[in-house]
Every structure is written in structure tokens, then in C-alpha cells.
Amino acid sequence: MIHTQRMSAALQGDFVLFLIGMRINKPLLAHKWLPVMRAMPGMIAELTHQPQRGLLHAEMWFGRTTLMMQYWRSLDQLLAYAADRHSRHLPAWRDFNRRIGTDGSVGIWHETYCVSAGRYENIYVNMPPFGLGRAGELAPVGPGRHSARQRLHPEPEQ
């Protein structure tokens, strides 16, 4: 459903924005990069079926450089999943290091941002629920929230 009005999203409390992806450095070596690309959907399926682990929402884009945007309830939950010997993450990480390591064929990356409650802003126009709008609560933009500055520094209610 596309919302044609201006919408903004909020998420109660602190949260984590985790960006992760890979870069295909040697496209002809599909036997190197294809297993890396195939690993992430299994991890997301695992996390989707176990909401207590803290993943709130994930979206992925494919290209030479892939990007997955993940929203997590807490940094502790993200780090616990990454270190859990019974999850899909550690076997995939070990496989990457065994098969690819630092040979230059496939790059991997991630960035982690810890976001404090109320210290973010967003706007969506002519968009279906997306990003934080899927992880949190999406609502029409109302008075006092029309600009990025207002959304970042709302006026106290009278």
C-alpha cells in the first residue's frame, strides 16, 4: 500500500541500525560469492521465526555491492546472535573465512549504529511502509513535525 501523504515513523526506545553487505570483486568467480549471497536469507528466516532474538525488520538490495538494512531492538541482542554457536551466523562466518578469507574475491562489510530514543528523523512520501516505517510505527506527519528540524527537535506539548 502506497501512502501518498507525508508519513513519519517512530520506534519506542533505543534501537540499533545494522547495515551489512558484500561486494563481488571478481564476478566470474560465482562459486566464491554465490554461497556468501545465499547465507543471509537463511539467517533472516531464522531471526524472523525467533522474534525474541531482537530483529525488528530487515530489507535487502542486490547488486555488485549488496546492502541489507536491519533494525534491532538492542545492541546486546545483535551481538548475542552474532556470537551464538547454535545460530546460522557463525557457520557462515567460518565458511567465509575458510573458503575466501582475504583472497580479494568477495568483500564483506557492516556498520552498526546505536540510535537513542528520539535522536533520528525520517520522512516518506508516495511510499509503501519502508525501513523504520516497517520496524516501528508509521503515522501521518502532523503539526510541528513538517521539517527535519522539527522532527528532530519537537516542541514540548503545552
Question: What pLDDT shows up at residue 157?
Answer: 57
127 within domain boundaries: no
Q: How many domains does the chain have?
A: 1
pLDDT tens string 115-151: 999 899 999 999 999 999 999 999 999 988 899 999 9
Question: What pLDDT shows up at residue 156?
Answer: 64
- Exposure on the CB side of residue 32, measured as CA atoms within 13 A: 20
> Residue 13: pLDDT above 90?
yes
134 within domain boundaries: no
pLDDT tens string 17-64: 999 999 999 999 999 999 999 999 999 999 999 999 999 999 999 999
Q: How many CB atoms lie within 10 A of CB 137?
A: 11
6 within domain boundaries: no
152 within domain boundaries: no
Rounded to an integer, what distance in angstroms lies between the CA atom of residue 45 and that of residue 38?
12
Write out the three cell numbers for 39: 547465507
Model pTM score: 0.91
Which range (7-11, 53-57, 109-113, 148-152) has the least confidence?
A: 148-152
131 within domain boundaries: no
Q: Give the residue numbers spanning the domain of 41.
A: 15-115
Q: Which CATH number do you get for residue 108?
A: 3.30.70.100
92 within domain boundaries: yes
**Among candidates 88, 17, 118, which has minimal Cα distance to 58?**
17
- The position carrying cell 530514543 is 117
Single-letter code of the amino acid located at 10: A
Q: Is the dihedral of CA 60, 44, 42, 45 positive or negative?
A: negative
136 within domain boundaries: no
126 within domain boundaries: no
